[in-house]
């Protein structure tokens, strides 16, 4: 067997080095927007792990690794422990290899609940206890949802809470240019009915409401899956969404077909889409939002996740040159609350120790979130953080959406089997905008799923 992937996590940690008190990004007590009391209280309770080593393995590399280490420095400073973080380009395979070899890290951080589920079933995760799930329920926006993503069956077949949620990502956003809205006299819609009415008004005024691009090379079609997932949460219960993801609700079920048809009201309407329906599948998703910034604009609205500003014109200032609003819900379905589509990372203990337990406790402090919040690329559903700690207004607004959510669901296509979520679903959406009916597309995707058995 080739061994270049087999360097143990502990060895990787030694190479990566540790974060220390000398690395503190913000001096304790000098940032009024941070909850320093939470840091001081944690420090007072965990002096017993001084000198202990703690190995943490996760998905963050590059800038995100630097940012996480800036947080880890506070854990080391508060406890006197020697916590090290490492990652790998093939981190999913590496964590499986190391747990099976009996050389796991103390802490594993992963963005894939399904992988943690597999590790728990094999006895490679340590249950955190009901006190942690109870804490998440009380302190996180859509807490029940986050508990469900961290609860799995262990080797004994009994369900337990294994994985603590930490960093979140947000997808349920619609982007626009405030100046364009102001000039045209448009207002941000509060309901899906108002969003559709606004789209019709833009058409009536001689404009085009939406820019939609599904192009992404070999992954063409994935932006449409985000549309369908967002609409699924706004047209059906969270339980129906979960059933659809695990295929107990079939892809050609009338509920699913009606959601695909609803997406078609936006994407299969020549008057609604910049370039017409023919341009939807051929326009690269990275180029699609550029239509917002034309003079005159080629479109007024763009549905995409929080990362899309990376593809806005250089120098675009969020909140001024571009802004976003929450993908609204249907006023006719108030019982569905305010669902949010996104993703997130979960933290589990793979090798128990007092320092490992202390680290999970550390993630319950606002300071463990606020240090990263104040920099970049971090959102949290933790309701006790100070929203003013966010590094900019855009992140702050996204944080508010997360903390006020009643339901949070991971990207459905990411949770489906790869041949479906990253295969038949993508191609089915391209076929749909190309003219195929929603029912025929649902039948095709379900046939592909049945073929996995």
Residue 47 lies in a domain: yes
Query: Phi, psi at residue 382, to the nearest 5°?
Result: -70, 115
Over residues 79-98, the pLDDT tens digits come to: 999 999 999 999 999 999 99
> Do residues 356 and 261 both lie within one domain?
no
Euclidean distance between CA atoms 340 and 126, whole angstroms: 29
Residue count (the chain): 453
Give one DSSP letter per residue of 349-408, joined into a string.
ESS--HHHHHHHHHTTSHHHHHHHHTTSS-B--BTTS-GGGSSSHHHHHHHHHHHT-SEE
Mean pLDDT of the chain: 94
pLDDT band at 22 (very low <50, low <70, confident <90, very high): low
Average pLDDT over residues 406-424: 97
- Give the pLDDT of residue 45: 97
Residue 418 lies in a domain: no
- Give the pLDDT of residue 453: 77
**CA distance readout (Å), 252 to 255, 375, 430, 441, 442:** 8, 44, 17, 8, 4
Residue 274 lies in a domain: yes
> Do residues 333 and 442 both lie within one domain?
yes
Residue 255 lies in a domain: yes
- Give the pLDDT of residue 418: 95
Over residues 201-252, the pLDDT tens digits come to: 999 999 999 999 999 999 999 999 999 999 999 999 999 999 999 999 999 9
Answer yes or no: is pLDDT of 347 > 80: yes
Residue 270, domain extent: 181-338+425-450
> Do residues 154 and 54 both lie within one domain?
yes
> Do residues 61 and 152 both lie within one domain?
yes
Euclidean distance between CA atoms 318 and 289, whole angstroms: 14
Residue 64 lies in a domain: yes
- Give the pLDDT of residue 16: 43
- Give the pLDDT of residue 23: 77
> Do residues 129 and 146 both lie within one domain?
yes
Residue 92 lies in a domain: yes
Which residue, chain included where needed, has tokens 């391209």?
A: 430
Euclidean distance between CA atoms 435 and 432, whole angstroms: 5
DSSP 8-state assignment for residue 318: B
Classify 243 in phi/psi space as left (phi over 0), alpha (psi -120 to 50) or beta.
alpha
Average pLDDT over residues 95-122: 97
- Tally of domains within the chain: 2
> Do residues 16 and 163 both lie within one domain?
yes
pLDDT band at 361 (very low <50, low <70, confident <90, very high): very high
Answer yes or no: is pLDDT of 116 > 70: yes
Q: What percent of the chain has pLDDT over 70?
A: 95
Euclidean distance between CA atoms 439 and 437, whole angstroms: 5
pLDDT band at 52 (very low <50, low <70, confident <90, very high): very high
Euclidean distance between CA atoms 122 and 127, whole angstroms: 13
The answer for residues whose C-beta is within 8 angstroms of residue 244's C-beta and 6 or more apart is 232, 251, 253, 255, 256, 412
Euclidean distance between CA atoms 417 and 102, whole angstroms: 28
* Token digits of residue 75: 């854990």
How many CB atoms are located within 10 Å of the residue 122 CB? 13
Instruction: To the nearest 10°, report the CA torsion of 287, 293, 297, 300.
Output: 80
Residue 40 lies in a domain: yes
pLDDT band at 315 (very low <50, low <70, confident <90, very high): very high
Residue closest to 177 by CA, chosen among 300, 312, 54: 300
* Between residues 2 and 176, the one the model is more confident about: 176
- Give the CATH number of the domain where residue 100 resides: 3.40.190.10
How many CB atoms are located within 10 Å of the residue 63 CB? 11
Residue 3 lies in a domain: no
Residue 427: strand, helix, or coil: helix
Answer yes or no: is pLDDT of 373 > 50: yes
Q: Beta 339-349 vs 407-410: how paired, if at all?
A: parallel
> Do residues 445 and 298 both lie within one domain?
yes
> Do residues 354 and 332 both lie within one domain?
no
> Do residues 134 and 44 both lie within one domain?
yes
Average pLDDT over residues 257-263: 98
> Do residues 332 and 360 both lie within one domain?
no
């Amino acid at each position: 067997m080739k061994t270049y992937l087999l360097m143990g996590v502990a060895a990787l940690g030694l190479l990566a080095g540790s974060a220390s008190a000398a690395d503190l990004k913000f001096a304790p007590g000098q940032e009024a927007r941070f909850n320093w009391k939470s840091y001081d209280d944690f420090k007072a309770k965990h002096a017993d792990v001084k000198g202990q080593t703690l190995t943490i393995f996760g998905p963050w590399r590059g800038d995100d690794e630097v940012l996480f280490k800036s947080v880890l420095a506070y854990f080391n400073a508060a406890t006197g422990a020697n916590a090290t973080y490492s990652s790998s380009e093939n981190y999913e395979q590496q964590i499986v290899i190391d747990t099976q070899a009996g050389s796991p890290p103390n802490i594993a951080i992963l963005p894939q609940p399904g992988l943690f589920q597999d590790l728990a079933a094999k006895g490679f995760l340590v249950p955190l206890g009901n006190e942690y799930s109870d804490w998440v329920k009380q302190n996180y926006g859509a807490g029940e949802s986050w508990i469900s993503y961290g609860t799995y069956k262990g080797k004994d077949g009994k369900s337990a809470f294994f994985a603590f949620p930490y960093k979140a990502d947000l997808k349920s956003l619609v982007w626009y240019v405030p100046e364009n809205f102001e000039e045209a006299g448009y207002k941000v819609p509060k309901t899906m009915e108002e969003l559709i009415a606004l789209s019709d008004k833009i058409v009536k005024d001689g404009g085009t409401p939406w820019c939609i691009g599904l192009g992404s090379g070999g992954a063409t079609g994935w932006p449409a899956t985000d549309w369908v997932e967002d609409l699924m949460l706004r047209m059906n219960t969270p339980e129906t969404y979960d059933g659809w993801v695990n295929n107990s609700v079939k892809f050609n079920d009338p509920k699913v077909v009606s959601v695909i048809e609803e997406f078609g009201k936006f994407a299969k309407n020549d008057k609604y889409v910049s370039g017409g329906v023919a341009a939807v599948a051929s326009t690269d998703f990275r180029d699609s939002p550029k239509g917002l910034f034309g003079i005159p604009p080629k479109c007024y609205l763009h549905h995409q996740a929080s990362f899309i500003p990376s593809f806005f014109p250089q120098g675009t200032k969020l909140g001024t040159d571009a802004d976003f609003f929450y993908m609204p819900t249907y006023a006719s379905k108030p019982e569905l609350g305010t669902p949010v589509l996104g993703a997130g990372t979960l933290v589990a203990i793979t090798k128990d120790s007092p320092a490992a337990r202390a680290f999970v406790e550390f993630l319950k402090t606002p300071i463990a979130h606020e240090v990263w919040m104040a920099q970049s690329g971090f959102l949290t559903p933790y309701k006790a953080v100070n929203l003013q700690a966010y590094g900019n207004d855009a992140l702050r607004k996204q944080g508010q959406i997360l903390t006020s959510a009643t339901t949070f669901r991971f990207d459905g296509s990411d949770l489906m089997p790869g041949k479906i979520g990253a295969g038949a679903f993508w191609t089915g959406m391209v076929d749909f905008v190309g003219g195929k009916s929603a029912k025929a597309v649902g039948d095709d995707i379900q046939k592909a799923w049945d073929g996995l058995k």
